Amino acid sequence: MDTRELKFLLKLLGMPDYRAPISQVKPNNRTKAAERDRLCHTLCDRGFVDCNEEIVQFRIAPPGNALLRLDTSRLPVTEDEIKVLKACAEESISPKDTDLDTEHRQVVIRKLVERGLIKAEKTIIQEVWLTPRGLDYLRHEYIPSGSALELNLNHLACYLQFLRKFDSSQTDTEAKPPSKPVPKPVNPQRRLTEKPNDTDIWYAVEELDRLLGTDNYLPIFYLRERLQPPLTREELDLALYRLQRGDRIELSSLQEAAHYTSEQIEAGIPQDIGGPLFFIIRT
């Protein structure tokens, strides 16, 4: 690891929760944005950091063109995805040219990129954070070598505080019995004001799973926090059943209840036999 990459990681160590807007993570004041972004991508490739990137320019890919020539009513593609493909069929466009709601157009575009139907031509890194792999590397594997002339005492202070915080947490863990995990809160400002359709609900599941890191096992109570209101409990239950019948999601029951409160468990969908349906799995 060269000095610039190390300074990038040490900068993140000094940020709350080891994450920050990319503009705050320059290795030094002379580092240009292009070089900073290159360092970020290099560290992402090595698994030390991860980031949010906004796609700001994209065009259709050959598989997307081929899809538009088919009967899309028989394909697993949404109306919003078709709208994006048609919008960029002739030339490169920006997200605003899709006429999609700003609430979820990046989700639609990223999904199409992942499926190879469109190609991102320009992206902007918004936020970057240290991954568990990056933290483990700095804590257990990194061995300083060579000259430290390019590092300053602020970098050293971030590293020392990080090591001391870890040492303190280890001591607390040994002294106290493990506690029940605390679920991550959902931002109440993300609540919708109009009733979403089934596609909106599917995208909400995808977004919450990504933001909360639930590894495609999203507890239903998170979705209720987001969508009730404007939906009623019954309306959301029926929508989830429709998505299940359409092979967009699967619903799974809860096997181990120890990590959840009674209110969270009651937010599942009751069944006549067995425990409630509790997890949403995108298919």
Span 274-282, mean pLDDT? 85
pLDDT score recorded for residue 139? 78
- Within-domain flag for 125: yes
Q: How far is CA 185 from CA 169, 212, 223, in A?
A: 22, 9, 11
User: Which domain-ending residue is among 178, 212, 229?
Assistant: 178
Domain that holds residue 107: 1-178
d(CA 89, CA 66): 11
The two three-digit tokens of residue 256, written as one number = 């181990």
Alpha-helix runs per DSSP H in the chain: 3-13, 33-45, 62-68, 79-87, 105-114, 132-136, 153-175, 198-212, 220-227, 233-245, 262-266
Predicted TM-score of the model (pTM) = 0.50
Tens digit of each residue's pLDDT (9 = 90 or more) over 46-92: 888 988 888 999 999 999 999 998 887 777 788 899 999 999 999 99
Tell me, yes or no, whether 24 and 75 share the same domain. Answer: yes
173 by Cβ neighbours in 10 Å (0-12 / 13-18 / 19+) ranks as exposed
- Within-domain flag for 2: yes
DSSP string, 10-54: HHHHTSGGGEEEGGG--SSTT--HHHHHHHHHHHHHTTSEEEEEE
Tens digit of each residue's pLDDT (9 = 90 or more) over 114-151: 889 999 999 999 899 988 888 888 877 777 665 555 55
Tell me, yes or no, whether 155 and 259 share the same domain. Answer: no
- Dihedral (CA of 239, 245, 246, 247) sign: positive
The per-residue pLDDT of the chain, averaged, comes to: 80
d(CA 98, CA 84): 6
Q: Are 155 and 26 in contact (CB under 8 A)?
A: no
pLDDT score recorded for residue 152? 59
Tell me, yes or no, whether 159 and 214 share the same domain. Answer: no
- Give the residue with greater pLDDT, 121 vs 169: 121
pLDDT score recorded for residue 142? 72
Number of domains in the chain: 2
| 64 alpha-carbon distance from chain centroid | 25
Q: Which amino acid is at 227?
A: L
Tell me, yes or no, whether 173 and 266 share the same domain. Answer: no
Alpha-helix runs per DSSP H in 46-104: 62-68, 79-87
3-class DSSP state for residue 218?
A: strand
Tell me, yes or no, whether 27 and 156 share the same domain. Answer: yes
Q: How far is CA 223 from CA 84, 194, 263, 279, in A?
A: 26, 15, 14, 10
How open is the CA angle 218-220-268, to the nearest 5 degrees? 135
